[in-house]
Amino acid sequence: MGPIRYKLRIPEPHTHLLGVEMTAEGVHGPARLVMPSWTPGSYLMREFPRNVMQMEAADGAWRPLPFRKTDKNTWLVDAPADGVLRARWVVNADELTVRTSHVDASHAYVNGASVFLYVEGRQGEPVEVAVEPPAGWRVTTALEEAGEHVFRAADFDELVDSPMEIGTHALVEWGVDGVPHRYAVWGRGNADPRRLAADTTRIVLAERELFGGGLPYPHFTFILHLASGGGGLEHRNSTSLLVDRWSFHGQAYEGVLGLVAHELFHAWNGKRLRPAVLGPFDYTREAYTRELWVVEGFTTYYTDLVLRRAGLISPLRYLEKLAEQITRFSQLPGRGVQSLEDSSFDTWIKFYRPDANTPNATISYYQKGALVALLLDMEIRARTGNARSLDDVLRLLWERWGARDVGFPEGTVQAVAAEVAGADLADRFDAWLRSTQELDYTGLLNTAGLVLTTPRDARERGLAPGGHPDAPGAAPVPREPRTGLQLKPEGGRIVVANVQAGSAAWSAGVNAGDELVALDGFRIASPDALSARLLEAPEGTRLPLTVFRRDELLTLSLPVVVGPPQKLLLRPSPTATAEQKRVLFDWLRMDAVGGGQPAPAPVDGPRANFGPVPEPGWG
C-alpha cells in the first residue's frame, strides 16, 4: 500500500471553504473516518467536526459507498469492493486563531486537526498531501516537500503538527548553526524583518545553550500572522504566532519577542520533553495530566529569562516583569481555591472557558507554574551553593526523556529536581503543587539578594528613589480606589466583567454583567471618572451606585476603599553578600559590573524572499 493521500483545494478562498479529498488503499472492510475534536497544545474540545460539510464516500472508481455518522466525530463507510476508499468533504474555515483554520481572499491558514479526517487504526501510516493553491499563491509548511505543492508526513500526528500557510506571504530565511530558519509573514504592519530575524537568532542561541546541546529540529518555520488579537501554538518543527500588526516597537515588541521565545522553547519542552500522555494522541478524547504546569509553567518562567540571557531586555526590566507576575498572582482570589495540579488537570473544562467567576475560583498553570519554577530554581541554588539550578533539571530531563522523544511518567520532574538539589523536596512540591498555601517568596529570593517590597516600603528602606515618603517635600505615595471591579466597554456602556471576591464591590452586591450608570447621583462617564470620584470621597463612607441589571435600575451602596497601588517591586538589596551577588549575576547572565549585555548574536544573512506578489510594507 502507498501512503494515505490527501488533496487540498481552495477554488474560491473568499468563501472561506476548503475542499479536502482522501484516498486510502488496502481497505477490505467497513472503515471509520474520524475528525479530531481538539488540537495538541490547546486543551479544549473544539469540536472540529462541526465545520465539516458535504461528506461523500466512494471506491477507487468513484462509485458511491453507503455511509452513516455514528457519533460527533465518526463516519462509518461500507467496505469498497476494490479495496480503495475515497472520501471528500468541505470544511468551513473562518476562524482566525492559531488553533483553528482560516481562509479568505488573502490567504489560507490550515491547522491539520481542524481539516483532515483519518482512517481509524491507520494513524501511524505515512501521509502525502497535495495542495492546489490559487494562482500566484505558495505553500509554506514544516512538512517534507515531495514535489511542487506536494508534502509528506511520517504519520497523521506529524500532519496535524505541521500547519500550512498558503498565500502571497513574505518569507524571511536565514540560518542558525547551519539549521534553516524562516518566517512566513501574512499581513501588513510595522515589523522590520531583518531585525526580527536577528533578535530571533539570539533567542535560539540562548535556548540552545540552556538545554546544553544542538538544536533539536532539522529546520524551523515561524508562521506569523499580523492582525487583531494574539496568541501562539507550538509545533514540533514550527510554530504559529498571531500578533497585533503595530506591535514591533517599544514594550509591545518586547511582547512579540516573548511570544517567539515561549513558542520556540516548546520545541524542547512540550513537543519532545513531555508528559507521557501528550503524544501519541487520541484526538477524540481529553488527554489528562497534572503536569501541564511543567509544559507551560516552566516555559513561561524561561520566556523572560531567555530574553534577559539573550541580551534583549536589561536585568532591571527582567526584575520589573517578574515583580508584575508576582503582583498579578497575589491579587487573584482563585489562588486560595484551586491548586496547581488541579489547574493542570481541569484545563479541559475551566482554563479555556473563562466566565465571570473565573478569577475567584481558578488559577492559571502558566502563571503559578512560572512562579513555582522561580521558587524551585532558587531552592536548588540555595541548597547547592549555586552549583546547580533549574537549568540542570531541564538538561537532565532532556537527556533522559526529551532527546529520546519519550514521554515521562507523572512524578518524574519532582524526582529529578530532588536528585539535582541533593535533597528530598516532597514538602515543597506538596505545598506548591497540591495545596492552596500562599507562595512564600521572601527567603528564596534572598538567595539572589533580592527584596520583594511595596513602593512605599522600598522608599522607606532606600531601595527606590524619591526619599522617605513622610519626609517634608517628598512626593506623596499615589493612592487608588480598590473596588474589586474589572470593567469592559460595551457599545458605549461601562459593563462589569467580573467582581473580585471579598472586595468593596463584592460586599455591595455588584454582579458581573451590571452596567454602571451613576455614582452618588452623577453619571459615570468612564472607568477613570469613577476612580477620580472615589478618590475625592471620604474613605470609609458609602456612596449610592446606580446600575442597570437585566434592564432593571438598581441602587447599591458601595464602600469607599482606597489605598496605595497594589504593586510589588523586586529590588537588589544594598547589603547583598558576595555570594548573593554571584547567584544574581549567574542567574541573569550579568557581568561583574552587574548590567552587561551579551554581544549581538551572529546571523547567517537573513534574506527577504517575498515571492511573486510581495506584501506591501515588506519590500
Omega before 598 cis (within 30°)?
no
The whole-number pLDDT of residue 377 equals 98
Query: How far apart, in whole angstroms, are the C-alpha atoms of residue 302 and residue 241?
Result: 18
State the pLDDT confidence band at 461, using cuts at 50, 70 and 90: confident
How far apart are alpha carbons 174 and 193 in whole angstroms?
Answer: 11
Q: Using CA atoms, how far apart are residues 426 and 424, in angstroms rounded to an integer? A: 6
* Fold of domain 4-168: Immunoglobulin-like (2.60.40)
- Taking the C-alpha atoms of residue 217 and residue 238, their distance in angstroms, rounded to an integer, is 9
What residue ranges do the domains of the chain occupy? 4-168, 172-268, 288-468+573-604, 483-562
Half-sphere exposure of 428 (CA within 13 A, CB side): 22
Q: Give the DSSP per-residue string, 476-489.
A: PPP-EE---EEEEE
In CATH, the number for domain 288-468+573-604 is: 1.10.390.10
Q: What is the pTM of this model?
A: 0.93
At residue 4, the pLDDT reads 98
Instruction: Decide if 283 contacts 37 (C-beta within 8 A).
Output: yes
Of the pLDDT bands very low, low, confident and very high (cuts 50, 70, 90), residue 475 is confident
8 Å CB contact between 498 and 362: no
CATH assignment of 483-562? 2.30.42.10
C-alpha cell at 398: 532532556
Ranking 114-123, 451-460, 603-612 by mean pLDDT, the lowest is 603-612
pLDDT digits (tens, 9 = 90+) for 199-218: 999 999 999 999 998 999 99
**What average pLDDT does the structure give for the chain?**
93
CA dist 155 → 4, 134, 162, 273, 429 (Å) = 9, 27, 11, 20, 38
Whole-angstrom Cα distance, residue 403 to residue 450?
A: 35
C-alpha cell at 504: 468593596
pLDDT of residue 372 exceeding 90: yes
| 288-468+573-604 matches 4-168 in CATH topology | no
516-526 per-position pLDDT tens digit: 999 999 999 99
The mean per-residue pLDDT over the stretch 118-145 comes to 97
Alpha-carbon separation of residue 445 from 376, 381, 453 (angstroms): 11, 10, 12
Q: Over 90: is that where the pLDDT of 445 sits?
A: yes
pLDDT tens figures, 324-348: 999 999 999 999 999 999 999 999 9
Give the pLDDT confidence of 528-571 residue by residue, as tens digits: 999 999 999 999 999 999 999 999 999 999 999 999 888 999 99
Please check the confidence at residue 281 and state whether its pLDDT lies above 80. yes
Q: Which CATH number fits domain 172-268: 1.10.390.10, 1.10.10.60, 3.60.10.10, 3.10.310.70?
A: 1.10.390.10
